[in-house]
Chain A
Amino acid sequence: MLMNNVKLAWHFYQQEYRFSHQRLLRWTQGALMLFIITLSQSSANIQTYLNDNLQGLLGADAVLSQQQALTAEQHNDIANLSSKVVTTQQVKTTLTHNGQWQLVKLKAVGQQYPLQGELLTSASLQDKGQVTASGPQQGHIWLDARLFASLSVEMGETLQVANQQLIVSRILQHEPDRLMEGHTVDMRAMINQLDMKRLNFSSDLIHFRYLIAASSAQIEQLTTWQQQTLPAAEIFHKQGNHPLSLFWKRTENFMGLASIILFFMAAIAIEQLTQVHMKKDQYFSAICMSLGASNTTGIQVSLFKWLISLLLLVPVVLILSALFHWLIIDWLSGTFSALQWQINYPLIAKSLTALLAVFAIFHAPVWLSLKNNSVAKLFSGVNKGFSHWFSKLSSIAVLTGVTLTYSDNGLLTLMMVTATVITIALMIVISWSSLTLGEKLTQNISGLVPFSLFMMKQRLINKSTQILGVGLCAFLLLFTLMLLKDLGQTMSSYQRQHDGNVMVSQATQPQMEFIEHWASDKDIAIRQTKPYMHAKLIAINNQSLAEFTDKPSDSLATFSRSIRLHWTDAIPLNNQVVDGTWWETNTPKWQQISIEQEVMTDLGLVLGDWLTFFIGQQPSFR
């Protein structure tokens, strides 16, 4: 009997295939499935990429950083929270070779390093980076490319650090935990942890960093533990302010909202179509039952028909979603290099199951009405009972579920939902009151106008769902367009601030010429070029630094060494003047300098102070 019902369902599906309500339902369901599957596949692809990228950039889920080593007890506490902890030590020191010297950040790592991401090294400056399983062996030192070049060192030569001989064995190209150390252009070198002990640096010079693999819950626990036990230590974690994460988070917020809006529109359409379907299926089942079929046959045929309609949509949706997914990834690969198109099959199955469940809930009133109503009632199509309310409640339940699932930002979603509800209320009030007022005002003018208004009011009651549906769809469409406009503006402003994905930290004049030539050949815009000279601050208001202030500060420590002094005519796009004025062209007082606000405060400087730099000769800047 079941096979017979499947055959009947297939037969009636074919008969109804070209009917407008079936076609509309197919398009609505297909569009929604296509959107959801493409979105979930693209999101998963980007999430995986970002996760790998974050691992490569951050090197750990969390990093605890402080000047001292952890005590055994503190170490135990962390080990209880996470089984994977890797320690690195850093010290700032000067390396010399054949009369060349450079201030470097020397990092000591053990065999467990790196914890996450890839450590890239090469055998020569020209080589591409190769993934290296762990840090340097004892007695070896790896230098970054700039340091390697600036010390004019050759591979296999030895460097002397604190009377210890270290062999230069690799060029350090990428350390996965670099970003979490903060943005810096310091030259870098890496040695083995055991060598660090032998170098015998004073303990107050060594900075300890603990790379920790941790889940979100563990990160929370770790943060609480750090605040209670080590308030002076710093903790960085993945949920922090990584620009790519933040940007993607914003995009996800938007996508979530767009999904909710789309679902709202689809829900209105499906709910409307369910009414048509309910009448159609009720009528069909009533005929079948009047000809000897049981209720079960009616329900089964309706169920199979619904299932066949969806199952036949799936291959089309999958092919189209794969295509759109590929197009999106291809487009995004311009921004996210090495982003690859990958199909996530379990996710497809999950999304399809969820969608089928949602569509089933929307369609459930049809089956309920077949189960609960008598044949005569099914013929009359009266539908004010349980299935009517179930239909409404199930729609609300589905929409609530979808809102909760897709909403990444509660406030934003609440604002959107509130705006929708207010719009519905306004539509009802304005339509009703304007028609009522119009009817009353025109009563004495002509019989036709008030009659038309009266009829419109009657239609408003009868067709309220349709009118609200169309109105709401128009509102949601406008809302989406406004949201897209806002997002576009945010993205372009974000791009203005963070444009560019390659930074060359140092280039000589011939190298710069080559870069400019190459960029012009490849049609690549160079966002900013910052020429610089090494300059050393020697006096403030004609007082030596020691005389000017005796308060120790980070800025003072930085200024006690040579700094990179940049110059430019115009304010860089990603900078802004917070106080004072930018120098004018051809001003006789050209010796002006702008300093970061934080440094001004740190050193206690005010506008008009004189700074004296040593740059070959001794010009002054104010």
Chain B
Amino acid sequence: MPSYIELKNASQSFQTNDTQVTLFNNLNLTVHQGESYAITGPSGAGKSSLLTLISGLEQPSTGHGVYVNAGQSKALSELRSDIGFIFQQFHLLPELTALNNVALPLKLRGDKDAIKKATAWLSKVGLNDRINHKPSELSGGEQQRVAIARALVFQPKFIFADEPTGNLDQKCAIEIADILFTCCQENNAALVVVTHSDALANRATHQFSLIDGQFNQQSNQTLEVASC
């Protein structure tokens, strides 16, 4: 039975000095395993914050989220072991080599073949000659590939990507998008992408535009190009 994530009446706001800033109000969203979603919208609309809520990395100010797995409803914090997150700022550990960064999630799970699998994934993203380089020795695009390999290496059920092609040239962006969507398709994983790129957003099955704290949903299902 496919798993899904459900956000109900989720609102997010924060306090800066004396002002309360509300990013969005009463949002409802369901993310199904095996489907792809793109969230677009202007800068500061709260897309990244929404992504952290759906992935269970942050609690909503009001409302709640559930993770339904094999028919069982759980809190979103339980979702963490089934997600792979690709951050806009990559968030690679500077002290580890590319190989060890990718192997990290496997090591956290006690996988004895961590290094072997990580090597294979680095090769898959075209970095087999950069295995022993530390993040500071890699370009932005290379760091992005390492971050993607790290998020996908343990074959999560849900993949979240925050501006995964934002730092890349067009050729690289297409390559990265291919990797993401292919992996999603191969593993029957859900992919949720926050992006400013229309090309990337158009490849997703579902597209949401977050404007003024509200969703404007469009479906790309009729477009054959992008479903995974």
Contact = CB atoms under 8 A, between A and B. Distances in A.
A19 B57 contact: no
A4 interface: yes
Interface in B114-137: none
Nearest to A284: B93
B105 interface: yes
A291 B149 CA distance: 12
Nearest to A15: B95
B110 A1 contact: yes
B105 A374 contact: no
Contacts of A294: 80-81
A292 B81 contact: yes
Contacts, number: 68
- Chain B interface category by residue count: 20 to 34
B118 to A, nearest CB: 12
B94 to A, nearest CB: 9
B150 interface: yes
A287 interface: yes
Interface in B138-155: 150-151, 154
B57 A290 contact: yes
B61 to A, nearest CB: 12
Contact of B80 (A1, A7, A292): A292
A245 B71 CA distance: 78
Interface string A291-302: 111100100000
Contacts of B34: none
A291 B108 contact: yes
Q: Which of B52, B85, B95, B154 has the most CB of A within 10 A?
A: B95
A608 B83 CA distance: 105
Interface string A154-171: 000000000000000000
A4 B105 CA distance: 12
Contacts of B95: 12, 15-16, 19
Interface stretch (A23-31, A110-118, A375-383, A460-468): A375-383
Contact of B108 (A286, A288, A379): A288
B156 interface: yes
B180 to A, nearest CB: 17
B156 A292 contact: yes
Contacts of B150: 291
A8 to B, nearest CB: 6
Interface in A33-64: none
Interface in A385-440: none
Given A16-B95, A291-B150, A374 B58 contact: yes
B84 interface: yes
B80 to A, nearest CB: 6
A376 B85 contact: no
Q: Which of B55, B109, B150 has the most CB of A within 10 A?
A: B109
Nearest to A293: B108
Contacts of A4: 107-108, 110
Contacts of B57: 289-290, 374-376
A297 B104 CA distance: 13
A600 to B, nearest CB: 81
Interface in A1-19: 1, 4, 7-8, 11-12, 15-16, 19
Contacts of A288: 104, 108
Contacts of B91: 283, 286-287, 290, 379
B9 interface: no
Interface in A113-150: none
A8 B108 contact: yes
A286 B83 CA distance: 13
A487 B109 CA distance: 60
B75 to A, nearest CB: 13
Contact of A292 (B58, B87, B154): B154
Contacts of B25: none
Nearest to B104: A291
A287 B108 CA distance: 11
B59 interface: yes
A289 B108 CA distance: 10
B85 A290 contact: yes
Nearest to B58: A376
A292 B109 contact: yes
A22 to B, nearest CB: 10
Interface in A281-319: 283-284, 286-294, 297
Interface in B37-53: 49, 52
B29 interface: no
B108 A375 contact: no
A16 B94 CA distance: 10
B175 interface: no
B193 to A, nearest CB: 16
A287 B107 CA distance: 13
B96 interface: yes
B212 interface: no
Contacts of A287: 91, 93, 104
Given A374-B57, A375-B52, A375-B57, A289 B110 contact: no
A2 to B, nearest CB: 11
Interface of A: 1, 4, 7-8, 11-12, 15-16, 19, 283-284, 286-294, 297, 374-377, 379
Given A7-B107, A15-B93, A289-B80, 17 more contacts: A1-B110, A4-B108, A4-B110, A15-B100, A283-B91, A287-B91, A290-B91, A291-B84, A291-B151, A292-B81, A292-B83, A294-B81, A374-B57, A375-B52, A375-B58, A376-B57, A379-B87
Q: Nearest 7 pairs between A and B by C-beta?
A: A375-B57, A291-B105, A376-B58, A292-B81, A15-B95, A4-B110, A290-B85
